[in-house]
Amino acid sequence: MNSADLGRRVGVPSTALFTDQYELTMVQAALKAGTAGRRSVFEAFTRRLPEGRRYGVVAGIGRVLDAVENYHFDDAMLAFLRDHNVVDGPTLDYLADYRFSGDIWGYPEGEVYFPGSPILRVEGSFAECVLLETVVLSILNHDSAIAAAASRMSVAAGGRRLIEMGARRTHELSAVASARAAYIGGFDTTSDLAAGFRYNIPTVGTSAHAFTLLHDTERDAFRAQVESLGRDTTLLVDTYDVTAAVRTAVEVAGTELGAVRIDSGDLLLVAHRVRQQLDELGATGTKIVVTSDLDEYAIASLAAAPVDAYGVGTQLVTGSGQPTCSMVYKLVARAASADPADPLRPVAKKSLGAKTSLGGRKWAARRTDEDGVAEAEVIGTGPVPPDLAGRQLLVELVRAGEVVAREPLDAARERHIASRAGLPMSAMQLSRGEPVIPTEYV
């Protein structure tokens, strides 16, 4: 990855209070105990994929880098913490000077992951690393869930274009992050202008039913839209009668009409009928866009329909039933002091149930067969086997507090396409299943 600062950077407020209170109270107690400065390694990973999913998609790394850069406490925040007795004076003094100065390694955006994959490794003092836990998990859990849903929809679409249009179905800031994650996962455009402004994602949009209802006749509405936006526009044809609307649309725009959109009804049946009618009217190049609460299963069911593009909203921005990846952020190694010469010791939670974790600072590599198809996610804490040395997955993201790995969003999108293509074919199945490759620990 390169460090080019591409795309439009906008002012980001401090992310320091995007956190749980116990992050700060742990720092207070550790400062008092003299352990806050101990050299530590934290890792973000998930113990399992969402039920039935065969692979996960890493998204949000770029936003994590922004969050780390902007994690600082201003005077108003410090006053809030003081006035509400959240932490004591010495802790406020520590927070006032806080800037992350450690190192971060992680899976690059767009890469696929599996249970146990060390998606992010954060190294530094205990205090500076633990403070990042909540905001890191907030970003990775949300964005990776959306990207995974987008990837499944991209597979189902089979090369047809995908439009992200979920802004009205989620929080206004989540909508921007969702559009970004969806683009990584395979969507082509977004309706959200804030996402286009911030991340240079191509934006699209024409009109809703309200525009048709505003005018005295459907013909008047179509004429107004074509005169303003040109013949290449997309006309919404299901406000009243679809057959009559398609005929009127071609009469108004001519056979150069860009597209028609269908937002209701039996989409499979209606799409076939509209395609036949357009062809009979000579509008053979006019495309058909379908919307209406689609998910990957609905998209797959339309594979035989003459559809050119899908617009997806609610199901996409809610992760198509899996709105989080259940990632956790755990201390896996620590030294007895801040001295770099002090050895790191593996640490891990040992408990009943499924919440155990594996201690030690980890590397990860993907083993492939002779055809280059992934066979296993290999994770270890010791030396990397020579045959896996060139297949390591973690890349350096932050060095001594400085971001070293910014990249254009298209790079993450292209990486995902390549990474997904390297999985066994069964990864493309939408039916429920186990992770498509096993995780092996060495």
Task: Write the pLDDT tens digit of every residue in 76-118.
Answer: 999 999 999 999 999 999 999 999 999 999 999 999 999 999 9
Q: What is the pLDDT of residue 2?
A: 35
pLDDT digits (tens, 9 = 90+) for 112-149: 999 999 999 999 999 999 999 999 999 999 999 999 99
Instruction: Tell me the mean pLDDT in the region 31-40.
Output: 98
pLDDT digits (tens, 9 = 90+) for 351-394: 766 667 789 999 999 999 999 999 999 999 999 999 999 999 99
The third-level CATH classification (topology) of the domain covering 206-306 is: TIM Barrel (3.20.20)
Q: What is the pLDDT of residue 13?
A: 77
The percentage of residues in the chain with a pLDDT greater than 70, rounded to a whole number, is 96
Q: What is the pLDDT of residue 8?
A: 52
Binned at pLDDT 50, 70 and 90, residue 1 comes out as very low
Q: How far apart are CA 399 and CA 104, in angstroms?
A: 7
| Top-tier CATH class for 21-146+322-441 | alpha beta
Q: Do 122 and 102 contact (CB within 8 A), yes or no?
A: yes
pLDDT digits (tens, 9 = 90+) for 181-211: 999 999 999 999 999 999 999 999 999 999 9
Is residue 6 pLDDT above 50, yes or no?
A: no
Binned at pLDDT 50, 70 and 90, residue 349 comes out as confident
pLDDT digits (tens, 9 = 90+) for 223-236: 999 999 999 999 99
Is residue 59 pLDDT above 80, yes or no?
A: yes
What residue segments make up the domains of the chain, in order of their start?
A: 21-146+322-441, 206-306
* Same fold? 21-146+322-441, 206-306: no
Residue 169, token pair as written in the block: 């179905």
Q: How far apart are CA 224 and CA 212, in angstroms?
A: 10
Is residue 4 pLDDT above 90, yes or no?
A: no
Sequence-separated (6 or more) residues with CB below 8 Å from residue 188: 161, 162, 163, 202
Higher pLDDT, 404 or 6: 404
Q: How far apart are CA 286 and CA 335, in angstroms?
A: 65
Average pLDDT, the chain: 95
Q: How far apart are CA 386 and CA 59, in angstroms?
A: 29
Is residue 9 pLDDT above 90, yes or no?
A: no
